[in-house]
Structure 1
Amino acid sequence: MLLFILGLIIFFGAHFFTAFARVARADVITRLGPMRYRGLFSLVAFIGLALIIVGWPDADKTVLYVTPPALRHVTYGLVLIAFILLAAAYLPAGKIAAAAKHPMLASVKIWAFAHLLVNGDVRSLLLFGSFLGFSVIDRIVLKRRGAPTPTEGPIKNDLIAVAVGVIAYGAVAFYLHQYIAGVALF
Structure 2
Amino acid sequence: MWMLVLGLFIFLATHSVRVFAEPWRQGLIARTGANQYKVAYSVVSLLGFLLIIYGYGMARQAPIVLYSPPIFTKHIAALLTLVAFILLTAAYVPGTKLKAAVKHPMVLGVKTWAFAHLLANGTLHDVLLFGSFLVWAVLSFRAARKRDAADRISYPPGSAVRDVVNVIIGTALWAGVAFWAHGAWIGVRPFGM
Output the TM-score relative to the length of structure 2: 0.92
Higher mean C-alpha deviation, range 30-39 or range 122-131 = 30-39
Q: 1:180 to 1:93 in 2, by over 3 A?
A: farther
Report the equivalent of 2:78: 76
Contact 1:78/1:114 (<8 A) preserved: yes
Contact 1:102/1:149 (<8 A) preserved: no
d(CA) in 2 for partners of 1:13, 1:118: 26
d(CA) in 2 for partners of 1:119, 1:149: 38
One-letter code aligned to 1:7: G
Report the equivalent of 1:55: 55
d(CA) in 1 for partners of 2:40, 2:70: 43
How well do the aligned residues superpose, as a CA RMSD in angstroms? 1.3
d(CA) in 1 for partners of 2:112, 2:27: 34
Report the equivalent of 1:96: 98
- TM-superposed CA distance for 1:179, in Å, is 2.6
Report the equivalent of 2:127: 125
d(CA) in 1 for partners of 2:47, 2:20: 21
Once the two structures are aligned, what percentage of the paired residues are identical? 41
- TM-superposed CA distance for 1:17, in Å, is 1.5
Higher mean C-alpha deviation, range 88-97 or range 156-165 = 88-97
- Please show how residues 138-153 of structure 1 align to structure 2 within 5 Å: 138-145=140-147, 146=149, 148=153, 150-153=155-158
d(CA) in 2 for partners of 1:113, 1:149: 28
Q: What does the per-residue CA deviation read over 1:29-68, in whole Å, with 9 as the maximum and x for residues that have no partner?
A: 0112111111111111110000011111222621111111
List alignment gaps of at least 5 residues for structure 1: none
- TM-superposed CA distance for 1:180, in Å, is 2.9
Output the TM-score relative to the length of structure 1: 0.95
Contact 1:119/1:125 (<8 A) preserved: yes
List alignment gaps of at least 5 residues for structure 2: none
